[in-house]
Structure 1
Amino acid sequence: MSHLHYLSPSELSAALAVPDLTDPAQGPHALQLILNEILDAVRRDAGVPVVEHRLPPLVATADNYDRLGYAADDITRDSHYSRHLSPSVMLRSHTSAGIPGLLDQLRDAPAGHDQILALPGLVYRRDVIDRTHVGTPHQVDLWRLTNGPRLGVDDLHRLARTVVTAVLPGARWRVIPAVHPYTSHGLQVEVSVDGEWLELAECGLAGRTVLTRSDLDPGLWSGLALGLGLDRALMIRKGIADIRLLRSRHPEAVRQLGDLEPWQPVSAMPAIRRDISIVIDEAPDPELLGDLARAELDADADLLADLAVVADTAAGELPPSAAERLRIGPGQHNALIRLTWQALDRTLTDAEANALRDRVYRALHRGPVQELIAS
């Protein structure tokens, strides 16, 4: 079993306080517009009902992993990547976690059942900090399940084409083979943006073992599964370069997040960079460091635009003078981390950047000697 760290009550409360911008109850947002365009497009193309399910973010670990075919020792179970409350309960790491329970409800479905399940919402991960990643991204799963005529690879390609066209009309796109534990014939869907291929979605045929775990006979039932990151889809559609803008309260950003028109640059505030030299207990993991920084900064997390590992040196490889100055222990590492601070609505002062730098330093540093700069 992978290493598990359980969320504290305050960590859980902070995670659950993040608003789901795909939910109309949180107020209008462009994420709802692009979600609706996708759902309308697949409904028209497939000619079958699309039923939207908004499920609670706390899920059984078995539904998030075991019933979807993940191995017991899969690395994604580790607390470096997922958020656990107990050995059996976690914050979902993908909206696919809602699928096993919905499949259970199909056991008594009448012959000829054909329906698309849509599961939008937030997912909860430990992730790097940069301008394209966030620890609580929005996602949607689309699963078409039928006990009528069998669905196959041609239907899968058609679903992928429909979704691409809804997100980015007229875009060049391609599929490449991909492996998912809950599908067969898996594909990664990529679109060409400014000459670069970017991942948009992943899909495949619903896996036999996923069906059988819900007592659905794979000889009678077949399905298509597609997962899409809605933040990435909206950023590609509108040409948004910084994911923090999706939650910005900057008036220019708020105004533009009411439609799907091309993004007009919001007044850029100057960035401030601070490097920190920290002692840590193992080789630096950008996902874990990013999550620790987010947790420490809390409401100020959006001020950190980027956290990058610049260098990593094991204790035994340091010059003796550096090892003595840091008082680094055997097996520890000295990592150079570059922090980029940038507010979206104002200019940060040097004093603010220094204070923020020290907060992150204290959260990440595991050595006995502290090097703080704020007065």
Structure 2
Amino acid sequence: MSHADHLTPAQLSRALEMRDLTDPAQGAHALQTLLDSVVSALTAGWGSTVRCVRNSPVVAVRENYDRLGYDRGDVTRARRYTRYVSPTVMLRSHMSAELPTALEDYAGRDEVDELIVAPGLVYRRDAVDRTHVGEPHQVDLWRIRSAQDITDQDMLTMIGSLVDAVLPGAEWKTTDVVHPYTVGGRQIDVLHDGEWLELAECGRIHPDVLRGSGLDPTRWSGLALGMGLERALMLRKGIPDIRYLRASDPRIATQMLDLEPWKHVSPLPAVRRDISVVLGAEHDEETLGDRVRVALGDDADVVESVEVLGRTAHEHLPETARSRLGTELGQVNLLLRIILRPIDRTLTADEANTIRNTIYRAVHEGPVLELI
């Protein structure tokens, strides 16, 4: 891994300055209300104690991957998905990174039945659209017991309580999934407006994770559940755009303080810009989205979406197009549609063109520039 694969000091500083909407110390937010209702529902059924874990999002790579059972060659470790600070340090990509160390505190204790609540920001390289951000909020909810008696039925009960707290009365189902840190993993989908949508994933804590934290799997057991909080809140309130969760516009911000249904706010006019770019064939909407966010910095929230309309490999382009674009083997020509729609102001044509050009320079790798 080269130094170019690491975050710059400015990028790291910006990531660490971002407000954590789950933290009451940084101001009230509906994400906190929703999480409180989930924790209350789970502990009411179990009678368990509650422990909240909050730490810096800068973690050792070992905590984020190795201690949770990820293979050395796992694709999720790739730079395209992970924000590395150094070869051994990163911004956590999931809240599960906090749990192996948290579990160490139970070694030597008896009569434990506790729900560990680990909420916070995680850092991804993701697409730009109405439902994705590069720094989503996630919560891990792990129940740890000083007894080897956690069963799949306990997990199903946990799922039912979770769904009822997030979407009261919603129909749900599970499908089998594999996590390196759980046994009997399940994906939880809920039926919402006639469509099945993923809400969370869970499983029984893997014996190797317990053992690695100093807990004997013959004496300890538990459940591990992870949920994206933006998705949960957007489903609960009917919020149409993930950017609204951080909006300062009073018409929107006041609605982010409770769990009442979303009240329509007329959006500002959209500005569309289509661009044709050349870049390596390995890139997708996730890596493009990350480049856009990094390039725009604080202005990234004016972009409603970046959509790939067309993708043509070098070898499938007409010769005239290859010559005009300057493509090479291993590259593709992408047609991208950029929708600009700030939440609280209207863009001028010049501002829109400046943002368009910034995005173009950030993603285009060809020798021929087409700026406006």
Structure 1 residues 245, 227: closer, same or farther in 2, change over 3 A?
A: same
- In 1, Cα distance between the equivalents of 2:30 and 2:223? 26
User: In the aligned structure 1, how far is the partner of 2:302 from the partner of 2:161?
Assistant: 37
TM-score normalised over the length of structure 2: 0.97
| Residues 4 and 79 in structure 1, CA contact (< 8 A), matched pair in contact too | no
In the alignment, what sits opposite 1:31? 31
How far the C-alpha of 1:44 sits from its partner, in A, is: 1.0
Is the aligned partner of 1:326 residue 2:325?
A: yes
Q: How many equivalent pairs are there?
A: 372
| Post-superposition CA distance 1:288-327 (Å, at most 9, x none) | 1100100111111011111111111122221111111112
> Aligned letter for 2:136?
P
Partner of 2:272: 273
Residue 54 of structure 1 aligns with which residue? 54
Post-superposition shift, 1:335? 1.1
Q: CA deviation at 1:179?
A: 1.1
Residues 252-280 of structure 1: per-residue CA shift (max 9 Å, x gap)? 10111111000001111121111111111
* Aligned residues of 2:279 and 2:366 also touching (Cα < 8 A): yes
- Offset from partner CA, 1:71-128 (integer Å, 9 cap, x none): 111111111111111111110000000011011222222x221111110000011001
**Superposed, which structure 2 residues align to 1:179-190 within 5 Å?**
179-190=178-189
Question: What whole-Å deviation, never above 9, does each CA across 1:121-141 have from its counterpart, x for those lacking one?
Answer: 000110011100001000110
> 1:227 deviation in Å?
0.5
In 1, the alpha carbon distance for the partners of 2:282 and 2:58 equals 31
Matches of 1:32 and 1:351, distance apart in 2: 39
Q: 1:4 to 1:354 in 2, by over 3 A?
A: closer
Q: Is the 8 A contact 2:85 2:91 kept in 1?
A: yes
- Check whether the contact 1:2–1:75 (CA below 8 A) recurs between aligned residues: no
Please tell me the residue identity of whatever aligns with 1:296.
Answer: A
Which residue of 1 is the match for residue 127 of structure 2?
128
The residue type paired with residue 310 of structure 2 is A
Q: Which amino acid aligns with 1:12?
A: L
Verify: 1:43 aligned to 2:40, yes or no: no
Question: Counterparts of 1:139 and 1:328 in 2: how far apart (Å)?
Answer: 40
Q: What letter is aligned with 1:308?
A: E
Residue 68 of structure 1 pairs with residue 68 of structure 2 = yes
Is 1:195 matched with 2:187? no
Post-superposition offset of 1:360: 0.2
Give the counterpart letter for 2:274 in structure 1: D
Distance 1:284 1:304 in 2: 19
Identity of aligned residues (%): 51
Distance in 1, Cα, partners of 2:74 & 2:21:
30
1 CA distance for matches of 2:170 and 2:284? Answer: 35
Contact 1:95 1:141 in 2 (8 A): yes
The structural deviation recorded for 1:148 is 2.6
SS of equivalent to 2:360: helix
Partner of residue 288, structure 1:
287
Structure 1: gaps of 5 or more residues: none
Tell me if 1:137 matches 2:148. Answer: no
Task: Sort the Cα spacing of 1:346 and 1:52 in 2 relative to 1 into closer, same or farther, 3 A.
Answer: same
How far apart are 1:4 and its partner, in Å? 8.4
Superposition deviation, residue 351 in structure 1: 2.1
Q: Secondary structure at the match of 1:158?
A: helix
CA distance in 1, matches of 2:281, 2:185: 34
The amino acid across from 2:33 in the alignment is L
Q: In structure 2, do the counterparts of structure 1 residues 260 and 213 end up closer, same or farther at CA, with 3 Å as the change threshold?
A: same
Structure 1 residue 203, shift from structure 2 partner: 0.5
Unaligned stretches of 5+ residues in structure 2: none
When the two structures are superposed, what TM-score results if normalisation uses the length of structure 1? 0.96
Distance in 1 separating the partners of 2:86 and 2:2: 13
3-state DSSP of counterpart to 1:345: coil
Residue pair 2:148, 2:217 contacting (<8 A) in 1 also: no
Match of 1:177 in 2: 176
Alignment check: 8 A CA contact 1:297 1:359 kept: yes
Conserved in 2, the CA contact under 8 Å of 1:3 and 1:79?
no
Compare 283-292 and 126-135 and name the one that shifted more: 283-292
Of 81-90 and 328-337, deviating more is 328-337
1:225-253 Cα deviation digits (max 9, x unpaired): 01111111100000001100001111110
User: Would you say 1:91 and 2:91 are equivalent positions?
Assistant: yes
Q: For the Cα contact (< 8 Å) 1:128–1:289, is it kept in 2?
A: yes
Partner SS, residue 106 of structure 2: coil
Match of 2:153 in 1: 154
Contact conserved, 1:208 with 1:218, CA < 8 A, in 2? yes
**Could you tell me whether the CA contact under 8 Å between 2:148 and 2:218 is conserved in 1?**
no
- The aligned amino acid for 1:255 is T
Listed as ranges, the matches of 1:225-374 within 5 Å are 225-373=224-372
Separation in 1 of the partners of 2:367 and 2:180? 44
CA distance in 1, matches of 2:329, 2:195: 43
Mapped pair 1:13 → 2:13: yes
1:333 Cα deviation (Å)? 1.6
Q: Which moved more, 1:147-156 or 1:295-304?
A: 147-156
